[in-house]
Amino acid sequence: MESYLKKDIRFVKGVGEKRAQLFEKLGVSSVGDLLGLFPRRMEDRRIMKPITSLADGETVGVTAVVCAMPAEKRIRKNMTVYTMAVRDGSGVMHMVWYNTTYVKTAFRVGETYCFYGQVKRGYGKWEMLSPLYEKPDEKKAIGRLVPIYPLTEGLSQKIVSQTIKACLEEMPDTVVDPIPKSVREAYGLAERNYALRQIHFPDDEWCYEAARKRLLFQEFFYLRLAVGFRRHGLSQEKGLAFSCRDPRPFFEVLPFAMTNAQMRVLREIAKDLTDKRPMARLVQGDVGSGKTAVAAAAMYMAVKSGYQAVLMAPTEILAKQHYETLSGWYASLGLTVSILTGSTTAAKKRKILEELKDGKIDVIVGTHALIEENVVFHALGLAITDEQHRFGVKQRARLAEKGSAPHVLVMTATPIPRTLSLTLYGDLDVSVTDELPPGRKKVDTYAVTESMRQRIYRFLRQGLEQGFQAYVVCPLVEESEALDLKAATILSAQMQETFPDFSVSLIHGKMKAKEKEAVMAAFAAGDIHILVSTTVIEVGVNVPNACYMIVENAERFGLSQLHQLRGRVGRGGDKAYCILFSDATGKTAEERAKIMTQSNDGFYIAEKDLELRGPGEYFGTRQHGVPSYQMTELLSDVKLLKQAADAADAYLEEDPLLEKEQNRALQQVVAEKIEENKTTMN
């Protein structure tokens, strides 16, 4: 079975080279990847209604007899409409297709078909737009629960579904289930093969839920075992015990006093640094909670203990920001700081590499350039990664490999609910900076509808005239980058038209990294007044003068994403505002608006985000090497996550390396999971 799951997607019936490249965009390169491409949701296409009971706008099925063959009418150049009348016992409706030539010969008059699509009432008659259709006894696309998958341009739901079906038809039946029978019985879990079939083509809701429970448990169970392996390995390593335990001289150069939370986290770090076991700690804290100062104090302790320290950031602009901050703090302490990025000139790079190897540089800040082979340290004692979710496990490991078992610290400004962090980062000790520095003002947040736009724009103009800057963020259109870019380009043009006396610029996902950084640098320098963005603004980038954050279609963002965006403004001490545009209605929309307008606590918001949308939507798009959380919709999944973690911990306590005969299959899967995380997580 495991070898079948590794089969290259190219060799699956109906795929081939070109289609495999499209699947690659979804992170699918093998049969196992494809079977793990779980549906986002299930669409119930079993509901069939009489024509006269339909409601305008609903998506539903009807069973009807064809009255006449489709009539063809060309309404303009490159646009032909095909209309076909059908009837059931209650009435008549018209099926409508655009530019779909093959429907002319797809039906027979007098025969019965099932149709499924969106219903529209117009000109006194019922219409169904571009419906799916099939004979009543087929039940391939209609009359059953149908999975809805994430897509990319060029791949349709039909293609994905057919390819998954082809894989399932070839899947061997006689296999060893990696999850032991004792665990399956204890937690009421279905067998793996059954679950893989039912998650994609369920017989009914009960079967789908049983499959979903098994596969979600499986993902967390494997991950927890993998991080348990890693933690076990770390506990066997011997590290560097730092001699410096007192960072107080560093505190004296800071232009502010450390908060109680910062001091608590620093004590936890100091305890690790003076231990012989290498530190592996995650510091997570809300935007502006002072993680950089904590990291700087730890690096000071490393240097004063005779070692070097490195800080790796995901982008050049963020690396430069850290370099300037650290240079200012360390100047009077005699610590030498340098920076290495992709744009560092060849001559300067040679000099930096020599000084780093000779031990003349105490602290170096940089981007991915730091993990190149020619970067050699004299004595690396502390490796820090900022915004850890932007780096793969392999990249973080390569940074740590620059020294002999150095202490490792990773930082994130994305508050992660405790339940998830315990499972996702089980190999790391977790510290939290949950207190904002005094003087940091609350960002006033308003949830408004389209009717308020002109009033908001007048308010924004007042701020721009006072010299402040603004971000305008529009959501990603996941199915089409082209549509996404088009929408952002239109919005950017509209903003320029509305504010002709101010500079408006656009930053989007299709731009090269250097182009993005150039735009962000211009915005940071004040040359751009309004920055329209299709991507989430870089976490950590500091533009003190930006005091307005406008988010379009706020309902498309998670609460945690909105909180991250809000954290981009008000970083200079001036009053800041976050405006959330949304015309969404209903109880959930009201709850979201209430949470965002009343709370500035990132951890509370993260918990509410998890509660409202489940872990899947909390994390957003699928990440390689991370479980397929998009399956998750309900808060009850968090309980399942906890059960999986408890089961894995109990298993490791009994057999730490899964060496017993009955655990061999499980050991193989976990080993592959660890290797997968090393090579593909990003």
Domain boundaries, the chain: 1-42+150-175, 46-143, 239-433, 444-599
For residue 519, the 8-state DSSP code is H
Per the DSSP assignment, residues forming a β-bridge with 365 are 311, 339
Distance CA 293, CA 273 (A): 16
Which candidate, 163, 284, 176, 321, places its Cα nearest to that of 664?
176
Distance CA 553, CA 39 (A): 24
Q: What pLDDT is recorded for position 147?
A: 87
The pTM of this model reads 0.62
For residue 254, give both structure tokens: 């800071």
For residue 114, the 8-state DSSP code is E
What's the one-letter identity of residue 352?
I
Distance CA 325, CA 293 (A): 9
- Give the angle subtended at the CA of 388 by the CAs of 674 and 622, to the nearest 5°: 60
Contact by Cβ (8 Å): 338, 356: yes
Q: List % helix, strand, coil for the chain (3-state, nearest 5).
A: 45, 20, 35
Query: How confident is the chain (682 residues) per 10-residue block, as mean pLDDT?
Result: 80 90 89 87 88 90 94 88 94 93 93 94 86 90 87 86 91 79 92 91 90 87 78 65 88 89 92 86 79 94 95 88 92 94 92 95 94 92 79 69 87 69 62 73 91 95 96 69 65 93 88 82 93 70 89 86 86 89 85 90 78 49 34 53 84 83 81 59 33
Based on DSSP, count helices (H) and strands (E) in the chain, helices before strands: 22, 21
What Å distances lie between residue 311 and 95, 365, 406, 510, 681, CA to CA? 62, 5, 13, 28, 20
What Å distances lie between residue 84 and 115, 128, 135, 621, CA to CA? 12, 10, 16, 40
Q: What pLDDT is recorded for position 512?
A: 80
Q: What pLDDT is recorded for position 663?
A: 81
At 335-383, the pLDDT tens digits run 999 999 988 999 999 999 999 999 999 999 999 899 998 999 999 999 9
Which candidate, 298, 306, 323, 304, places its Cα nearest to that of 383?
298
For residue 433, give both structure tokens: 């900076």
Which candidate, 407, 171, 371, 391, places its Cα nearest to that of 270?
407
Per the DSSP assignment, residues forming a β-bridge with 85 are 94
Q: What pLDDT is recorded for position 36?
A: 86
Distance CA 40, CA 148 (A): 6
| Domain 1-42+150-175, second-level architecture | Orthogonal Bundle (1.10)
Burial of 198 (0-12, 13-18, 19+ CB in 10 A): buried
Strands (E), 135-245: 145-148
| Fold match, 46-143 / 444-599 | no
Per the DSSP assignment, residues forming a β-bridge with 312 are 366, 385
Task: Give 518-522 contacts, CB < 8 A, sequence gap 24+.
Answer: 520/317, 521/317
Q: How many other C-beta atoms can be found within 10 angstroms of the C-beta atom of residue 456?
A: 16
DSSP calls for 383-407: EEEESGGGS-HHHHHHHHTTSSS-E
Exposure letters 431-446 (e unless 16+ CB within 10 A, then b): bbbbbbbeebeebebe
Tell me which CATH code domain 239-433 carries.
3.40.50.300
Domain topology for 444-599: Rossmann fold (3.40.50)
Please give the helix or strand (H or E) that residue 469 lies within, else none: strand 469-473
What Å distances lie between residue 394 and 391, 398, 675, 677, CA to CA? 8, 6, 9, 8
Instruction: Give start and end residues of each alpha helix (H) in 316-470.
Output: 316-330, 346-358, 393-400, 418-424, 453-465
Q: What pLDDT is recorded for position 425?
A: 59
Which candidate, 675, 641, 176, places its Cα nearest to that of 392?
675
Distance CA 485, CA 493 (A): 12
Which candidate, 306, 305, 281, 304, places its Cα nearest to that of 294?
281
For residue 22, give both structure tokens: 């499209």
What's the one-letter identity of residue 637?
D
Distance CA 579, CA 473 (A): 10
What does DSSP say about strands 577-581 and 444-448: parallel, antiparallel, or unpaired? parallel
Contact by Cβ (8 Å): 382, 406: yes
Per the DSSP assignment, residues forming a β-bridge with 447 are 580
Give the homologous superfamily in CATH for domain 46-143.
Nucleic acid-binding proteins (2.40.50.140)
